[in-house]
Amino acid sequence: MTQHLAAPSTGTSDDAPGHRTGWWQDAVIYQVYPRSFADGNGDGMGDLAGVTARLPYLRDLGVDAVWLSPFYASPQADAGYDVADYRAIDPMFGTLLDADALIREAHGLGLRIIVDLVPNHSSDQHEWFKRALAEGPGSALRERYHFRPGKGTDGELPPNDWESIFGGPAWTRTVNPDGTPGDWYLHLFAPEQPDFNWEHPAVADEFRSILRFWLDMGVDGFRVDVAHGLVKAEGLPDLGAHDQLKLLGNDVMPFFDQDGVHEIYRSWRTILDEYPGERIAVAEAWTPTVERTANYVRPDEMHQAFNFQYLGTAWDAAELRKVIDISLDAMRPVGAPTTWVLSNHDVTRHATRFANPAGLGTQIRTPGDRELGLRRARAATLLMLALPGSAYVYQGEELGLPDVTDLPDEARQDPSFFRAEGQDGFRDGCRVPIPWNREGTSYGFGAGGSWLPQPAGWGELSVEAQTGVEGSTLELYRAAIAARREHPGLGAGADVEWLDGPEGVLVLGRPGFVCTVNTTGAPVRIAARGRVLLASAPVTVDGAEAVLPADTTVWWTV
């Protein structure tokens, strides 16, 4: 339907075995959370028309691509990660024509578009699942999901001991068409998100067809939701552990990171490669180790995988160095670029994580020291953008937005808040609609209200308030991304060179640059490394010496 971006940049090159070149190798990719980015029709909910109208802002920010979280037809039990129709747009976000216009407009501005693909589960309102329930036991459609009889004398117990990521059992019992209690179905997330059975050929066929549908629409790639979850261990064995949620991410689980998932991605890669313009896939794969993450980006699988180990790292020089090394080492053998990400729609924004003491994880409920958090967040971003590979920016982080930690319970919409008795459930705090203007209804988000309440003072963080203001976080992001474009050396390759520096200070060499990062809470005197290209806070250079303020990153050209 739409024209595809014709001439992708050649990106970077490298001698690493299997290394591929392409636009995505060192791309800066901006995540749009459509509900909260811009509201085109004034109903208080962001939409595709709103995104399209704001694309020039993203072009000016300098990013290469935009990843949009789901906008498909959905009852919104999990903010659109419960898809009822993979080929339709939810009316709250617009129409297929709006999607077409968005893709065309983006391409016209030189921006690529990545859409979210949700293959682990559908909505319980998906046609297959509705019919599977309505047809009752024995329905062939039930084989496309995981239906099982319960345990116990009367099938009253779930088929195994798995828990939902959102809390509570991972199984829900059905009611037969005649009103009697029936079989159970598996849902690793909310009960409204039944897991597909990927052993069934119809499921695999359907997703190959969905891929083609969106590739024909002109999208440049897919962010693959729960890429580690599609295949479950044979027989759905009990886990036998008492605190499953604590285990998540540390062990191979019978429902996560099974080797069988890779066959699926190999088949998808052949489809992506049939299309011109280097269409990509990026895995959302939570795995026990970065080495296991690397399996998803072998040369015949996906192109990128999110680096959640990096996202979870504290603001600490030694920890950061370790995770950077581990990440680069893990990706080198498979020739894939490393990715870097600090925030997304599932975790507390990094300005708030870094405002709080280390070790609290990625779901934080306290605002902490906001000034400290912002200072560190700006420094962390400059470090991220100096690393080789591709970087992801979550909408609003370029404004230095903190999480909104005091949302009233009645405003919350995240299903994990309702199911998990407070264990997680704070994802709404990073999803509050972003401020475009200083004043006005919803600070320029739209002509109506805002589906989550915006805090007082939000307008002072707006795009309007920061544009053209020297030292603002927005101008820092613009300058940093522009510098990455102007000096491809910054994102290129697969290595960093560690240079000596004082305790708590990282000094890393990049082609033509040195990046110095003071993670300590006090100013540190260092040898000046050349000419200051960019700094997250004012730096004083005095001849051959420089004073790095506390929690500050400086890029030097050498």
Interface residues with ligand NOJ (CB under 6 A) are 78, 81, 118, 189, 225-226, 284, 345-346
Structure token digits, residue 258: 């099974």
> DSSP assignment of 40-61, as one string?
SSSSSS--HHHHHHHHHHHHHH
H helical segments located in 332-432: 350-353, 370-384, 415-419
Q: Least distance from C-beta 346 to ligand NOJ, angstroms? A: 5
Nearest-angstrom CA–CA distance, 540 and 519: 17
**Helix (H), strand (E) at residue 265:** helix 261-274
Q: Least distance from C-beta 79 to ligand NOJ, angstroms? A: 7
Q: Which is nearer to ligand NOJ, 332 or 431 (CB)?
A: 431
Nearest-angstrom CA–CA distance, 551 and 321: 15
Q: In the 3-class helix/strand/coil scheme, how is 60-118 assigned residue by residue?
A: HHCCCEEEECCCEECCCCCCCCCCCEEEEECCCCCCHHHHHHHHHHHHHCCCEEEEEEC
Q: Which is nearer to ligand NOJ, 14 or 192 (CB)?
A: 192
Structure token digits, residue 424: 């997680």
β-bridge partners, 518? 505, 552
> DSSP assignment of 312-338, as one string?
T--S-HHHHHHHHHHHHHHHGGGTPPP
Q: Which is nearer to ligand NOJ, 188 or 517 (CB)?
A: 188
Q: Which is nearer to ligand NOJ, 284 or 301 (CB)?
A: 284
Structure token digits, residue 243: 């605190």
Q: Least distance from C-beta 159 to ligand NOJ, angstroms? A: 21
454 phi-psi bin (left φ>0, alpha ψ -120 to 50, beta other): beta
The number of CA neighbours under 13 Å toward the Cβ of 68 is 30
Q: Least distance from C-beta 188 to ligand NOJ, angstroms? A: 8
Q: Least distance from C-beta 447 to ligand NOJ, angstroms? A: 27
Q: Which is nearer to ligand NOJ, 24 or 81 (CB)?
A: 81
Cβ neighbours of residue 234 closer than 8 Å, sequence gap 6 or more: none
Q: Least distance from C-beta 153 to ligand NOJ, angstroms? A: 34
Q: Which is nearer to ligand NOJ, 78 or 551 (CB)?
A: 78
Strand locations in 187-283 (E): 221-224, 280-283
Nearest-angstrom CA–CA distance, 219 and 213: 9
Nearest-angstrom CA–CA distance, 51 and 104: 12
Q: Which is nearer to ligand NOJ, 112 or 187 (CB)?
A: 187
Q: Least distance from C-beta 272 to ligand NOJ, angstroms? A: 21
Active site residues: 225, 274
> DSSP assignment of 223-245, as one string?
EETTTT-SS--TT------S-HH
Q: Which is nearer to ligand NOJ, 226 or 505 (CB)?
A: 226
CB of 363 closer than 8 Å to CB of 347: yes
Q: Least distance from C-beta 344 to ligand NOJ, angstroms? A: 7
CB of 286 closer than 8 Å to CB of 248: yes
H helical segments located in 17-117: 34-37, 48-61, 96-108
443 phi-psi bin (left φ>0, alpha ψ -120 to 50, beta other): left
